[in-house]
Chains A and B, each alone.
Chain A
Amino acid sequence: DGGITQSPKYLFRKEGQNVTLSCEQNLNHDAMYWYRQDPGQGLRLIYYSQIVNDFQKGDIAEGYSVSREKKESFPLTVTSAQKNPTAFYLCASSIDGGPGQGAKNIQYFGAGTRLSVL
């Protein structure tokens, strides 16, 4: 089955530790995204990538880093610089991230990773 797989489902971070969240897709989509969701809030964009080896900061990139070495993979690292990392993290992908592409802009989401601080 095609889809987006996020792992782990739950993750705990110790003080001063970097942790990496995995996102893999087998939909052959060019664009991938990372969002953060806090309780009772909408989603906020952390980073996005329209093509392999290229990515851009979203609205809340500070304290996070990403890489896009393969089309199907877009891991997110939550660094120790992120002082309030507790949240629900969602990865998404779309066929095409460019403007005016209609249905190609529809974003498909993984099941999420819930990150907590120990």
Chain B
Amino acid sequence: KQEVTQIPAALSVPEGENLVLNCSFTDSAIYNLQWFRQDPGKGLTSLLLIQSSQREQTSGRLNASLDKSSGRSTLYIAASQPGDSATYLCAVSGQGAQKLVFGQGTRLTINP
């Protein structure tokens, strides 16, 4: 059974720092990996999707990498801003691309 773990559960950094969020998964047979952002009491917003054949994806200040063989992904946020404060979740496709398995998320706080 696929399991997804995100460490740390919470992270607080000063504004302007570059930071890395980690995601690990137990079964390397995935179709894709997605990173989402969730603001308190809200739905999820898709940030990046990496297909299993890809190594990384970039969008603005965000860069996500995927190492299927080691079961790891990282989300790199450059020049963090207070508006980046949110919970970040990663999810991998399980048995078929439609069945996403989520990690518990990392709650990120950027201090002005």
Contact across chains for B43 and A97 when beta carbons are under 8 A apart: no
B51's closest neighbor in chain A, by CB?
A: A102
Asked if A68 is an interface residue, CB under 8 A from chain B, the answer is no
Asked if B42 is an interface residue, CB under 8 A from chain A, the answer is yes
Selected contact of B43 from candidates A101, A103, A110, CB within 8 Å: A110
Contact across chains for A105 and B97 when beta carbons are under 8 A apart: yes
Selected contact of A45 from candidates B9, B32, B100, CB within 8 Å: B100
Docked CA distance A4–B9 (Å): 29
Docked CA distance A99–B52 (Å): 11
Q: Which of B69-112 contact A (CB under 8 A)?
A: 89, 91, 93, 96-100, 102-105
Contacts of A16 in B (CB 8 A): none
Q: For the side of the interface on B, what is the size category?
A: 20 to 34
Contact across chains for A100 and B46 when beta carbons are under 8 A apart: no
Most B Cβ at <10 Å: residue of A105, A108, A111: A105
Contact across chains for B100 and A109 when beta carbons are under 8 A apart: no
Contact across chains for B32 and A105 when beta carbons are under 8 A apart: yes
Q: For the side of the interface on A, what is the size category?
A: 20 to 34
Asked if A34 is an interface residue, CB under 8 A from chain B, the answer is no
Docked CA distance A40–B99 (Å): 21
- Given the contacts A98-B98, A106-B34, A107-B34, A42 and B104 also touching, CB distance less than 8 Å: yes
Contact across chains for B99 and A45 when beta carbons are under 8 A apart: yes
Min CB–CB distance B57 → chain A (angstroms):
10
Asked if A66 is an interface residue, CB under 8 A from chain B, the answer is no
Docked CA distance A44–B99 (Å): 10
Docked CA distance A39–B68 (Å): 29
| Given pairs A31-B98, A105-B49, A105-B98, 16 additional interface contacts (CB within 8 A) | A6-B43, A40-B9, A42-B103, A43-B44, A43-B100, A44-B102, A90-B44, A94-B98, A99-B93, A99-B96, A105-B32, A105-B34, A105-B93, A106-B34, A109-B36, A114-B41
